[in-house]
Amino acid sequence: MATADAPLCFRTRRLTKIYGDGATAVHALRGVDLDLPEGEMIVLLGPSGSGKSTLLNILGGLDHATSGEFLFRGQDMSEAKQSALTRYRRRHVGFVFQFYNLMPSLTARENVALVTEIAEDPMTPEEALALVGLEARLDHFPAQLSGGEQQRVAIARAVAKRPEVLLCDEPTGALDSATGVRVLEALQTVNDQLNSTTLIITHNSGVADMAHRVVTFSDGRIGEVRQNAERTPPRELAW
Amino acid sequence: MSRRRLVLLRATDRKLLRDLRAMWLQALAIALVIGAGVSVHLLAVGMLSSLEQTRDAYYERHRFAHVWAPVVRAPENLMPRLRGIDGVQAVETRVRAPALFDLDDMSEPASGEVLSLPDGREPHVNRLYLAEGHLPAPGRRDEAVLLDSFAAAHGLEIGAQVRATIRGGRETLTVVGRAYSPEHVYAIAPGQLVPDDRLFGVAWMSREALGEMAGQGGAFNEAAIRLMRGVSEDAVIAALDALLAPYGAPGAYGREDQLSDAFLTSELEQLETMGAILPPIFLAVAAFLVNVVVARLIATERSAIGLMKAFGYSDRAVILHYLKFVAAIAAIGVAVGVAVGVWLGRGMAGLYADYYKFPFLVFQADARDYLLAIGVATLAVCGSAMISVRRAARLAPAEAMTPPPPPDYSRALGSRITAWTMLDQQSRMILRQITRWPGRAAFTAIGVATSGALLIGTLFFTDSMEVMTASYFNLANRYDLAASFVEPRGRTAYYSLAQAPGVVAAEPYRVVSARLRNGNREERAALTGAPPEAQLSRLLDSSGRSITPPPGGLVLSRDLAIKLDIAAGETLEIEITEGRRPTVHIPVARVVTTLIGSAATMEIEDLNALLREGPVVSGVNMIVDSSRLDALYADLKAAPGVAGVSLHRLAERNFRELMDQNMGRNILIYTGFAAVIAAGVVYNSVRISLAERERELASLRVLGFTRGEVSYILLGEIALLTVAALPAGALGGAALARFLASAMSSDLYRLPFIIRPGTFGFAGAVVLFVAAASGLIVRRRLDRIDIVAVLKTRE
């Protein structure tokens, strides 16, 4: 689906992020230049503290860069205000976290509806949950679902608004391998069917084989960007 | 080993201090609620015990009489027989005469009385507290000691002169002393409600001199008696009445009918009632609030507790740590409460000192009162902390450190209602939060409702007093002033007053003292004769219509009817204790509710007929052209037959001033306390809710919800609960007001149970405002929430 000459979803230049100042300053990003085409599935690899989460947070509009340029579909987001960032997240971005972050007081269907109610052209909650294989668990509360099921509800919630971008921070970090594979399959289905640019942070280098593109981080910089000629289906990944 | 433990302990103490600092606003909110409970308790019980102790000490030291036995005129040689009555410890006979004072600094006459002091010695009963000067020299017609408050109100120093009409005779008195008297702690003219120091005067003179002036040479017209401990007052009164009946005794009476003591006692009873009701409510609310808040606070400390245990702290050490934490909060609360309570108490003692003339009055709460307040506060706080900390400490460290599983909402109450499809998801979250934790929701709602109820229950006094005042001054008693005669006078005396300068309308009245009896029940009362269709002083039924006693019948006020256990249609035995002293049987035609004072009223001609006297009157009620008041006052002061003048309009003004002053202060105090409770409940509920749901709310921000939308979920719940609590608070407040209305009513007045809609509105507005302000403070925190940081941490 994705091709190298597709329009750019994200473009960053000399992107830096420094937490704190003076002697205690932590350089989380030290000048990141990255071009990510629309519709690709990209896996970000790297040890803890290498800057991948920081980048994801900036790309997702959760945080501001200290300096540098960040464009979303050609639009400069570097100086966007809080309200603009909220709008950006609301319209264009879907998030999936390691710990699901579902609303415990809402059922699977209602957790998805939470987002579809404020989106412009959403799918129905039932469609979104079917996409991740949870059509049978619509009216279950998070407490009644397994970890993998909860994560798939989180994916359904993230994709129900048909986002241009899907950002996943360690989506399988809290799951066993069999469950993890089901979650990755769900992510791949979404990427294939909705053409959402999908960024996945993981510690598990095996996951990289399912991506179009793999970006490796170390010490706040990009070490390597490689494209997979062949993508491995999640079921066949080395876990 | 011990050194290492010391270091560790220091680390936990540092944690404690930092926790306190981090949560200072929450801790302060809890501390203030405790403080409110403690200070209301101290104020009420402290004021009560201060007044009681002061009164008891004053009465004892100055030998305040137990019984007064007035007569028309009795020979002094009755003394041995008076002393010989069983149970009598001391007797003092004296002369008591009404007086009208004419003062340079005001045109109105001041009413009052002159009392004799034994010549050459201190009285055995009712001793004065001489603030300055000396007692009158024996036989000096021109020397008098004045009631200190009266002298002070007119700037009369030692050596100053006062003109007075004493039993018709004009005298000029020189002030030789200023004194307090246990008989005049509440120095008030008959028929008045609040003291006016300028308008009520008391003078003490030599027995010999006053005896001459009042035509009581070698005789007395009142005996004041102190009883031995444990003696039946009724038996002594019966013996006195038997002994003194031949001398025109209207009947001896005890302290309950002594005006000053009756007011003081009624005030103390009210304080006692307030003290028995309000402080326990405040303390209970504080305990309840603290209990819940501390429990939830400690629940949010779950992982910290696990961590401490993982480091090897024992359960006891952990419990102790959190006990210290809440004990610190309790200590702040108690300190604030004691300081505010004592401060308010001193202020209140100052106000009491304006109205109750004690030579000394210091606000002082007993050690017992302090201990009780501190004990309840500490128990409430530490008890609740103990329970929740032990629950947390029981968990294995590893379990305590992992986040609790997501709460299961599938078992929540009313899931059908909350699944209703019309709801948007945010509102659904609000409703589910409430139905999942109904106890918490109820706590918040009850706390807010209690705040509203306390506010209504205390503010209702304003409404009630307003109705009472309006009814008494504007509807029932519409005269501007009343003049009473030294002795009953013929109709001509009435006509001459009716034609006095400035008098627009006048109506006569006749009043005699009487004993009302029904079976074995007996009450002393003033029996009033009123002209038919009286306009100036009327009895009103509950709908405000004027009631006229039918010929031959009596109208009785409800308080008397209840005490005598008599209903309309039944016949009352009346023993008139003046003049010919007839005993008659008269049917009770109507029973009416009077808000102030009691009434037993019949037609004036019926009363004249019963007494077999001509058409005589005791006094005249008048409406006066205010521009000609001074001329009228001059006339009244010069009229020898006028014993006293009751300035009704001035009395109303004084009463309203007192009310405004007291009510304004009370409204401020109770509004403050209610606001503290509402703020304590709402702020803590929302703040803890934020701590518990920070992650949920941050997730919503990530999903693209605006700050406003996220605040809606947090504050919508408290808003809903507050709105739900308002009607409950209104009902609770009405119930409290109803209870207080009956509990605080006394022989002197009855508080009607009336709450104006405006009071509900004001209470509601205060509660809503405080809730909104408390909620918005938390919202500012929510706005500043660091989304990324929250999502990174695992619960």
pLDDT reported for residue B792: 65
Where along chain B do its domains lie?
A: 31-56+276-395, 63-262, 425-476+654-795, 477-653
- Decide if B794 and A99 are in contact by the 8 Å CB cutoff: yes
Contacts A128 to B, Cβ<8 Å:
none
CA B427, distance to chain mean position in Å, is 46
Looking at the predicted structure, is the pLDDT value of residue B9 above 60?
Answer: no
Contacts B791 to A, Cβ<8 Å:
97, 101
pLDDT reported for residue B142: 93
φ, ψ at B23 (rounded to 5°):
-110, 30
Residue B285 C-alpha, separation from nearest chain A C-alpha, in angstroms: 30
Q: Quick check: A13 contacting B, CB < 8 Å?
A: no
Q: Which of B425, B696, B792 sits opposite A110 (nearest CB)?
A: B425
Q: Quick check: A93 contacting B, CB < 8 Å?
A: yes
Looking at the predicted structure, is the pLDDT value of residue A1 above 50?
Answer: no
pLDDT reported for residue A5: 67
Q: How confident is the model at residue B424 (pLDDT cuts 50, 70, 90)?
A: confident
φ, ψ at A95 (rounded to 5°):
-115, 145
Whether B153 contacts B197, CB under 8 Å: yes
Domains and their CATH numbers in chain A? 38-64+79-236 (3.40.50.300)
pLDDT reported for residue B415: 65
Residue A5 C-alpha, separation from nearest chain B C-alpha, in angstroms: 30
The stretch B537-546 carries a mean pLDDT of: 84
Q: What is the pLDDT of residues A152-176, one digit of tens each?
A: 899 899 989 889 999 998 888 878 8
B interface with A, Cβ–Cβ < 8 A, is 405-410, 419, 424-426, 428-429, 432-433, 436, 695-696, 699-707, 709, 787-788, 791-792, 794-795
The stretch B435-454 carries a mean pLDDT of: 88
- DSSP-assigned beta bridge partners for residue B483: B620, B645
Mutate which of B702, B710, B714 to disrupt the A interface (most A C-beta within 10 Å)? Answer: B702
% of chain B surpassing 90 pLDDT: 42
Contacts A95 to B, Cβ<8 Å:
702-703
pLDDT reported for residue B196: 87
Q: What is the pLDDT of residues B246-262, one digit of tens each?
A: 998 888 999 998 989 99
pLDDT reported for residue B235: 94
Task: Name the strand (E) or helix (H) holding B505.
Answer: strand B503-518
Average model confidence (pLDDT) across chain B: 87
Return the residue of A nearest to B426 by Cα.
Answer: A114
d(C-alpha B148, C-alpha B181), whole Å: 9
DSSP assignment of chain A equals ---TTSPEEEEEEEEEEEES-GGG-EEEEEEEEEEEETT-EEEEE--TTSSHHHHHHHHTTSS--SEEEEEETTEE-TT--HHHHHHHHHHHEEEE-TT----TTS-HHHHHHHHHTT-SSPPPHHHHHHHTT-GGGTT--GGGS-HHHHHHHHHHHHHTT--SEEEEESTTTTS-HHHHHHHHHHHHHHHHHH--EEEEE-S-GGGGGGSSEEEEEETTEEEEEEE-SSPPPGGG---
Looking at the predicted structure, is the pLDDT value of residue B4 above 50?
Answer: no
- Say how many C-beta atoms besides its own lie within 10 A of residue B760's C-beta: 21
> Which is more confidently placed, B188 or B73?
B73
Q: Quick check: A99 contacting B, CB < 8 Å?
A: yes
- Decide if B702 and A117 are in contact by the 8 Å CB cutoff: no
Looking at the predicted structure, is the pLDDT value of residue B143 above 60?
Answer: yes
Q: Which of A57, A83, A142 sits opposite B406 (nearest CB)?
A: A142
Residue B408 C-alpha, separation from nearest chain A C-alpha, in angstroms: 5
Q: How confident is the model at residue B435 (pLDDT cuts 50, 70, 90)?
A: confident
Return the residue of A nearest to B437 by Cα.
Answer: A105
d(C-alpha B451, C-alpha B341), whole Å: 19
- Say how many C-beta atoms besides its own lie within 10 A of residue B646's C-beta: 21
pLDDT reported for residue A29: 92
Looking at the predicted structure, is the pLDDT value of residue B711 above 70?
Answer: yes
Q: What is the pLDDT of residues B258-279, one digit of tens each?
A: 989 998 998 888 888 877 777 7
The stretch B468-482 carries a mean pLDDT of: 88
pLDDT reported for residue B10: 66
> Which is more confidently placed, B25 or B773?
B773
- Decide if B406 and A110 are in contact by the 8 Å CB cutoff: no
Least confident piece of the model among B178-182, B302-306, B573-577, B599-603: B302-306
pLDDT reported for residue B3: 46
* Buried/exposed B106-115: b ≥16 CB within 10 Å, e otherwise: eebbbbbbbb
- What size, in residues, is chain A? 239
Q: Which of A83, A91, A110 sits opposite B428 (nearest CB)?
A: A110
Return the residue of A nearest to B788 by Cα.
Answer: A62
Return the residue of B nearest to A58 by Cα.
Answer: B788
d(C-alpha A124, C-alpha A162), whole Å: 11
Q: How confident is the model at residue B795 (pLDDT cuts 50, 70, 90)?
A: very low
> Which is more confidently placed, B180 or B10?
B180
d(C-alpha A85, C-alpha A93), whole Å: 10
Inter-chain Cβ pairs, chain A and chain B, closer than 8 A: 87
Cα within 13 Å of Cα(B122), Cβ side: 11
pLDDT reported for residue B396: 75
Q: Which of B407, B426, B706 sits opposite A143 (nearest CB)?
A: B407
Mutate which of B425, B787, B791 to disrupt the A interface (most A C-beta within 10 Å)? Answer: B425
Looking at the predicted structure, is the pLDDT value of residue B1 above 50?
Answer: no
Whether B178 contacts B131, CB under 8 Å: yes
The stretch B334-352 carries a mean pLDDT of: 89
Q: What is the pLDDT of residues A54-98, one digit of tens each?
A: 999 999 998 889 999 999 999 999 888 888 999 999 999 999 888
User: Hey, what amino acid is at B389?
Assistant: V
The stretch B91-107 carries a mean pLDDT of: 92
* Closest residue by Cα to residue A146 from A188, A97, A180, A110: A180
* Closest residue by Cα to residue A106 from A138, A128, A63, A131: A138
* Closest residue by Cα to residue A148 from A170, A125, A175: A175
Looking at the predicted structure, is the pLDDT value of residue B537 above 80?
Answer: yes
- Say how many C-beta atoms besides its own lie within 10 A of residue B386's C-beta: 17
* Closest residue by Cα to residue B318 from B340, B328, B331, B303: B303
Q: Which of B425, B705, B707 sits opposite A106 (nearest CB)?
A: B425
Return the residue of B nearest to A88 by Cα.
Answer: B704
- DSSP-assigned beta bridge partners for residue B475: none
pLDDT reported for residue B117: 96
Q: How confident is the model at residue B6 (pLDDT cuts 50, 70, 90)?
A: very low
Whether A124 contacts A175, CB under 8 Å: no
Q: What angle do CA A189, A191, A197 make, to 5 degrees?
A: 165
| DSSP, res B600 | E
The stretch B213-236 carries a mean pLDDT of: 94
Return the residue of B nearest to A55 by Cα.
Answer: B788
Average model confidence (pLDDT) across chain A: 89
- Decide if B410 and A89 are in contact by the 8 Å CB cutoff: no
Task: Compute CA distances A125 → A90, A115, A155, whole Å.
Answer: 16, 9, 12
Residue B28 C-alpha, separation from nearest chain A C-alpha, in angstroms: 31
**Window A:23-52, CB contacts with B under 8 Å:** none
Q: Quick check: A65 contacting B, CB < 8 Å?
A: no
Mutate which of B418, B703, B710, B786 to disrupt the A interface (most A C-beta within 10 Å)? Answer: B703
Mutate which of B689, B699, B714, B782 to disrupt the A interface (most A C-beta within 10 Å)? Answer: B699
Placement of tokens 């992982």 in the chain = B303
Placement of tokens 């249609």 in the chain = B569
The stretch A37-65 carries a mean pLDDT of: 91
> Which is more confidently placed, B192 or A222?
A222
- Decide if A86 and B702 are in contact by the 8 Å CB cutoff: no
Looking at the predicted structure, is the pLDDT value of residue B738 above 90?
Answer: yes
Burial of B614 (0-12, 13-18, 19+ CB in 10 A): exposed
Residue B782 C-alpha, separation from nearest chain A C-alpha, in angstroms: 14
pLDDT reported for residue B17: 83
- Decide if B703 and A90 are in contact by the 8 Å CB cutoff: yes
Looking at the predicted structure, is the pLDDT value of residue B414 above 90?
Answer: no
Residue B693 C-alpha, separation from nearest chain A C-alpha, in angstroms: 10
Q: How confident is the model at residue B2 (pLDDT cuts 50, 70, 90)?
A: very low
Q: How confident is the model at residue B241 (pLDDT cuts 50, 70, 90)?
A: very high
Q: How confident is the model at residue B404 (pLDDT cuts 50, 70, 90)?
A: low
